Chains A and B, each alone.
Chain A
Amino acid sequence: MATISQSIFSPATAARFDKLATIYPVKRSALVPMLLYAQDEVGYVSDAVVREIAERLDLLELDVRNVLSYYSMLRTQPAGKYNVQVCTNISCMLRGGFELLDHCKDRLGIDHKETTPDGLFSLEEVECIGACCWAPAVQVNYDFHDDLTPVKLDAVLDSYRAREAK
């Protein structure tokens, strides 16, 4: 594949994508991981991300958008720097998942899929995240926090705030 002359990604990510496009029997297999890694870097799947990934994988932009819209972790709008994902599925619900969700709404002053005005936090109610035996569980970006109470969750949110203050 021709290397992309003007990549929107950092050199490390661009190099990773160069490699990803070569390891599979069919290079389209790199699509879902690429979209996710691109989102990690850019914050969301922007039009420019779609364009470059389509070019890298010899796909139509339409093909990319079609796949993009299927997966719930992929988004086409920016989220907060820390995306707080509260599980309310059965195991978490039984141990206070909805209480945590309401607590986050109050504390952050935002609803499901909204972002705080300072852009620091966004909130999402999510389905089971595979931490049922350590419920109730919350993921902030990719970090798991489990066995939570509203008080413990406050400490978690504060720790992300403190990271910013530094």
Chain B
Amino acid sequence: MPTLASHPDEVKVLSRRFGLGAANIDKYLEMDGYKAAQKAIAEGPDWIINTMKASGLRGRGGAGFPTGMKWSFVPKVSEKPKYILVNGDESEPGTCKDHLIFREDPHSIIEGTMIAGLSVGAKMGFIYLRGEYRYLLNIMEKAVADAYSRGFLGKNIFGNQGVDFDIITQTGAGAYEVGEESALMESLEGKRGVPRIRPPFPAVVGLYGGPTVINNAETIANAPHILLMGGEAYAKLGTERNGGTRLFGISGHVERPGVYELPMGYSLRKAIYDVAGGIRGGKKLKAVVPGGASCPVLRADEIDVGLDFDQMAKAGTMLGSGGIVVLDETVSMVEFALRTIRFYQHESCGWCIPCREGTDWIKKTLTRFHAGGGTKKDIDSVQYIAENMLGRTFCPLGDAAAMPTLGFVKKFRSEFEEYLNGVRVASPLIKITPVGANVHAGAH
């Protein structure tokens, strides 16, 4: 069972009910549960959206789009019903934060979904969990059933005539690409998770053709807290244009891996060395993948940067999903790059050629390179292929594969070159298949 981590530097807003049994609806009610939704009904949509805008909350799914603004894009009048879609597909390698929210505070996700619905005039919300999260789906289903039985969901919620809201929980069945918002809608409509061309954007034409708000589960779970504490108070916890706190998952070679709630802008160095206890076994830091597998790697000398969307962008990488993966000096970047591209190659939906062929080509090249059959030209061609994928695909998965690849080969080029001369770091994590042997593409 995943354990809860804790550190004095944490600022617990979203996680304040973690470990306190809040999956029980009575416990949740004791801890201010469903007060924000009732306040939202009393104050109305404009107040909700203004409060969300003032909070400076930016999407926690990866792209960091301002949430209040996203909600304000939904047309007031629509012939088709409007929907809220909560993205709990959580499949970005290095990311396990939504996992804890579903387990520890499922009602906050229900309440956040209602608030989003009230702000845009939607009467139905979907909470989509990845298929592997079955035990969490069970927790969510119980929470939803409890909310119905109290009259918090359904018709005339909290006794307000004419205010209706329904929630359906949904499960996926294994596919990273389904986390991409338009592929997510396809999946929820019972189709293959192939993305849609935009425009039109989901806020105008989304699920079943109706205007749809899609937010990450953590983004949604923040809404009740923001409405209760006030937008400005939430904004003040973070940095400029990056309001509030965020759940950061710190994994890999640290002493105390875990999910920690830190203020936006918190130092990456401190997150690794103080919060997560530094590098395991007193080893030296080599590199950090700062926000899930798709974010370009940072070298050990590049970690004096604040954890917010803008500072990370300035540092040439991304805050992404907040999944910080820490690599010590024993890791071979050739190997790490290979494992990363193998993932994207497996998950590419195959619709567009640069992504489908590019990921496959890079994977094959790096597999051979890793097995000892590489040449100097391979390093250039990997870089060339990745550069030519950027911005040329239907959905951002192509970029998500190309960007980290470029980071590895550019920032650690000398290591790739030395690898050719037989210089390798420590013992391999992936078994090296001799060249010439039937190169076994790994898992898939």
Residues of A within 8 A of B (CB): 23-26, 28-33, 35-36, 57, 66-67, 70-74, 88-91, 93-95, 97-98, 102, 112, 124-135, 139, 142-144, 146
Please report the C-alpha to C-alpha distance between residue A112 and residue B168 in the assembled complex, in whole angstroms.
Answer: 35
Contacts of B130 in A (CB 8 A): 130
Please report the C-alpha to C-alpha distance between residue A28 and residue B208 in the assembled complex, in whole angstroms.
Answer: 11
With CB as the reference atom, state the residue of chain B lying closest to A126: B443
Known pairs A90-B336, A91-B94 / 20 extra A-B pairs, C-beta < 8 Å: A28-B191, A29-B190, A31-B190, A33-B170, A67-B191, A71-B174, A90-B93, A90-B340, A90-B343, A91-B257, A94-B251, A130-B91, A132-B95, A132-B249, A133-B2, A133-B5, A133-B257, A134-B257, A142-B134, A144-B2
Please report the C-alpha to C-alpha distance between residue A126 and residue B93 in the assembled complex, in whole angstroms.
Answer: 11
With CB as the reference atom, state the residue of chain B lying closest to A66: B192
Contacts of A129 in B (CB 8 A): 132
The answer, yes or no, to whether B64 is at the interface (CB within 8 Å) is no
With CB as the reference atom, state the residue of chain A lying closest to B256: A133
Which B1-26 residues have C-beta < 8 A from chain A? 1-3, 5
The answer, yes or no, to whether B403 is at the interface (CB within 8 Å) is no
Please report the C-alpha to C-alpha distance between residue A143 and residue B443 in the assembled complex, in whole angstroms.
Answer: 21
**Interface-side segment among B157-165, B323-331, B365-373:** B323-331
Known: A28-B189, A127-B346, A129-B132. A144 touches B1 (CB 8 A): yes
Among candidates B3, B171, B293, residue contacting A36 with C-beta atoms closer than 8 Å? B171
Contacts of A24 in B (CB 8 A): 168
Q: Are A89 and B339 in contact (CB under 8 A)?
A: yes
Kindly name the residue among A25, A89, A91, A95 whose own CB sees the greatest number of chain B CB atoms within 10 A.
A91
Task: Provide a sorted-by-A list of 5 A–B residue pairs whose CB atoms are within 8 angstroms.
Answer: A28-B190, A94-B327, A128-B95, A133-B5, A133-B96
Contacts of A33 in B (CB 8 A): 170-171
Among candidates A35, A57, A132, residue contacting B93 with C-beta atoms closer than 8 Å? A132
Among candidates A23, A90, A94, A124, residue contacting B293 with C-beta atoms closer than 8 Å? A90
Among candidates A26, A71, A72, A102, residue contacting B189 with C-beta atoms closer than 8 Å? A26
Q: How far is the CB of A130 from chain B (nearest CB, A)?
A: 5
With CB as the reference atom, state the residue of chain A lying closest to B330: A94
Q: How far is the CB of A44 from chain B (nearest CB, A)?
A: 13
Q: Are B175 and A70 in contact (CB under 8 A)?
A: yes
Q: Could you tell me the dominant secondary structure of chain B's interface residues? A: loop
Q: How far is the CB of B363 from chain A (nearest CB, A)?
A: 14
The answer, yes or no, to whether B387 is at the interface (CB within 8 Å) is no
Please report the C-alpha to C-alpha distance between residue A165 and residue B83 in the assembled complex, in whole angstroms.
Answer: 49
With CB as the reference atom, state the residue of chain B lying closest to A102: B431
Contacts of A124 in B (CB 8 A): 443
Q: Are B132 and A74 in contact (CB under 8 A)?
A: no
Please report the C-alpha to C-alpha distance between residue A121 and residue B259 in the assembled complex, in whole angstroms.
Answer: 32
Among candidates B135, B168, B172, B207, residue contacting A144 with C-beta atoms closer than 8 Å? B135
Q: Are B429 and A130 in contact (CB under 8 A)?
A: no
Q: Are B174 and A73 in contact (CB under 8 A)?
A: yes
Contacts of B124 in A (CB 8 A): 25
Kindly name the residue among A35, A74, A130, A146 whose own CB sees the greatest number of chain B CB atoms within 10 A.
A130
The answer, yes or no, to whether B430 is at the interface (CB within 8 Å) is yes
Contacts of B174 in A (CB 8 A): 71-74
Q: How far is the CB of B123 from chain A (nearest CB, A)?
A: 11
The answer, yes or no, to whether B34 is at the interface (CB within 8 Å) is no
Kindly name the residue among A28, A29, A124 whose own CB sees the greatest number of chain B CB atoms within 10 A.
A29
Among candidates B135, B258, B347, residue contacting A127 with C-beta atoms closer than 8 Å? B347
Q: Are B442 and A90 in contact (CB under 8 A)?
A: no
Please report the C-alpha to C-alpha distance between residue A146 and residue B323 in the assembled complex, in whole angstroms.
Answer: 17
Please report the C-alpha to C-alpha distance between residue A25 and residue B5 in the assembled complex, in whole angstroms.
Answer: 41
6 closest pairs, A vs B, by CB? A73-B174, A31-B190, A71-B173, A28-B190, A125-B443, A72-B174
Q: Are A133 and B347 in contact (CB under 8 A)?
A: no
Q: How far is the CB of B145 from chain A (nearest CB, A)?
A: 13
Please report the C-alpha to C-alpha distance between residue A36 and residue B129 in the assembled complex, in whole angstroms.
Answer: 13
Please report the C-alpha to C-alpha distance between residue A35 and residue B258 in the assembled complex, in whole angstroms.
Answer: 34
With CB as the reference atom, state the residue of chain A lying closest to B328: A94
Please report the C-alpha to C-alpha distance between residue A32 and residue B174 in the assembled complex, in whole angstroms.
Answer: 10
Could you mark each residue 90-111 of chain B with 1 if its beta carbon is under 8 Å from any beta carbon of chain A, else 0?
1111111011000000000000
Q: Are A128 and B94 in contact (CB under 8 A)?
A: yes
Q: Are A70 and B193 in contact (CB under 8 A)?
A: yes
Kindly name the residue among A124, A127, A129, A133 whose own CB sees the greatest number of chain B CB atoms within 10 A.
A133
Q: How far is the CB of B371 from chain A (nearest CB, A)?
A: 15
Q: Are A127 and B176 in contact (CB under 8 A)?
A: yes
Please report the C-alpha to C-alpha distance between residue A95 and residue B444 in the assembled complex, in whole angstroms.
Answer: 21
Q: Are B135 and A142 in contact (CB under 8 A)?
A: yes
Contacts of B2 in A (CB 8 A): 131, 133-134, 144, 146
Q: How far is the CB of B89 from chain A (nearest CB, A)?
A: 9
The answer, yes or no, to whether B84 is at the interface (CB within 8 Å) is no
Known: A29-B190, A127-B346, A132-B249. A73 touches B96 (CB 8 A): no
Q: Are A142 and B132 in contact (CB under 8 A)?
A: yes
Among candidates B96, B188, B343, residue contacting A131 with C-beta atoms closer than 8 Å? B96
With CB as the reference atom, state the residue of chain B lying closest to A131: B96
Q: Are A132 and B96 in contact (CB under 8 A)?
A: yes
Known: A32-B172, A35-B173. A128 touches B92 (CB 8 A): yes
